Amino acid sequence: MIKERMEEALNRQLNAELYSSYLYLSMSAYFDSINLKGFANWMNVQAQEELMHAMKFYNFILERGGKITLSAIEAPPREWDSPSSTFEIVYKHEQKVTALIHDLVDLSISEKDHATNNFLQWFVTEQVEEEASADGVVQRLKLAGNSSGGLFMLDRELGQRVFTPPAASKEK
């Protein structure tokens, strides 16, 4: 059975992951609106990944005998200044999510909740990848500068990203 304090924190993270999915879906729509279909694709894949993360929290809470508490999801912005500024926001957002995950790990340690700590280690590793991926695009956008050719080459590259659901396992 999961302790109340841990359950509440995991539910907050579940809702944070849903917001992340919502944010990236909004960014995908923005990129579609400015005809950067590859950027839109990257964001759409990211939105799907964040939804998968939310479902991992959802299933874990239930598996531990907890109750799901869904909260209202704040509306994300609809417009951004540029592809570069959008990806800067993505990178900062992923850093914020990393801090949230680290706070959960700290709580699981203080609560001596070894099962939750073990569960969260996947997210600790995932956040390293998430930050590196977002920062990689930020750095390539900086290199492209004001070159429309560089922007369109990056758009083509980002269009190749494909959502790959995790292999079936005992996790739901």
Domains of the chain with CATH codes: 4-158 (1.20.1260.10)
| pLDDT score of 172 | 45
pLDDT digits (tens, 9 = 90+) for 43-64: 999 999 999 999 999 999 999 9
- pLDDT (mean) for 125-152: 95
Per-residue pLDDT of 16-34, as tens digits, reads 999 999 999 999 999 999 9
The residue among 133, 132, 125, 68 whose CA lies nearest residue 102 is 125
Q: What is the pLDDT of residues 66-118, one digit of tens each?
A: 999 999 999 999 999 999 999 999 999 999 999 999 999 999 999 999 999 99
Q: Could you report the per-residue pLDDT of 158-172, keeping only the tens digit for each?
A: 999 999 887 755 544
Burial (CB count within 10 angstroms: exposed 0-12, middle 13-18, buried 19+), residue 105: middle
What does the alpha-carbon distance between residue 145 and residue 124 come to, in Å, rounded to a whole number? 32
Q: Is the pLDDT of residue 35 over 70?
A: yes
Q: Per-residue pLDDT for 40 more than 50?
A: yes
Burial class (CB in 10 A: 0-12, 13-18, 19+), 30: buried
12 in Cβ contact with 131 (< 8 Å) = no
Enumerate the H helices of 64-158 as residue ranges: 83-110, 114-144, 148-158
The answer to whether 18 and 53 have CB atoms below 8 angstroms apart is no
Contact present, 137 and 46 (Cβ < 8 Å): no
Q: Are 46 and 162 in contact (CB under 8 A)?
A: no
